[in-house]
Amino acid sequence: MNNSQTLNWQSFKEQLLLNPGLDLQFEYAENKLVEASYHITEIKQAPIVSVDCGGVMNSWTEIIVQLWEPGEKQQERAMKVRKALSIIEVVENKLALNPQATVKIEFGNSQFDTRQMFPGEIKIEGENLIVDLRPDAVQCKAIGRGGSCGTNEKGEEVCAPASGVIKSIAAVKNPVVAESCAPGSGCC
């Protein structure tokens, strides 16, 4: 994961541990907080293994905290940080969470499509601990290494057609695919 704005699980949890008596709020858009009646429905640990367009294998782990807003308002104030910590404790008693994993918060409602966002700034405002959520972004790891999409770190093309590769059904129907993106060719 090359996003320089990520927060790892250990750092995120430390921020919570410092503020157990505050109300835990999540700001998903400018001046828009997740409804105070939200629930933390699950905490997922997702190991990610990928191969980028330059042919380089990448791996990292994400911990995804899922928030859900019930259909009807159930309370005026958001849950206390200590309640969130008790949910985390239940999870950690069953699943060893990687302290270096990247944290994401998963949320959506009727006005905001469900997505995974990064915790940005975590700030105290009055009796609230507010986690400002920032959108994830698509990235090209090859460019981040100084290459470009379809080249490796040496600048060599990785999208050249491989010889002797059996054409896919899509390639038979579309000759352009056959020439540039045959299965096993390394094409991105």
Which has the closest alpha carbon to 112: 181, 177, 26, 19?
26
How far are the Cα atoms of 37, 109, 111 from residue 67, in angstroms, in the given order? Answer: 10, 10, 15
pLDDT given at position 137: 83
82-111 pLDDT per residue, tens: 999 999 999 999 999 999 999 999 999 989
Residue 36 contacts residue 68 (beta carbons within 8 Å):
no
Phi, psi of 56 (to 5 degrees): -100, 135
Burial of 47 (0-12, 13-18, 19+ CB in 10 A): exposed
pTM confidence score: 0.76
Ranges under pLDDT 50 in the chain: 1-3, 160-172, 177-178, 187
pLDDT given at position 45: 98
Dist CA 6 CA 85 (whole Å) = 20
pLDDT given at position 183: 54
pLDDT given at position 25: 97
> Which residues neighbour 74 within 8 Å (Cβ) at sequence distance 6 or greater?
37
Q: Strand pairing of 57-68 and 102-109?
A: parallel
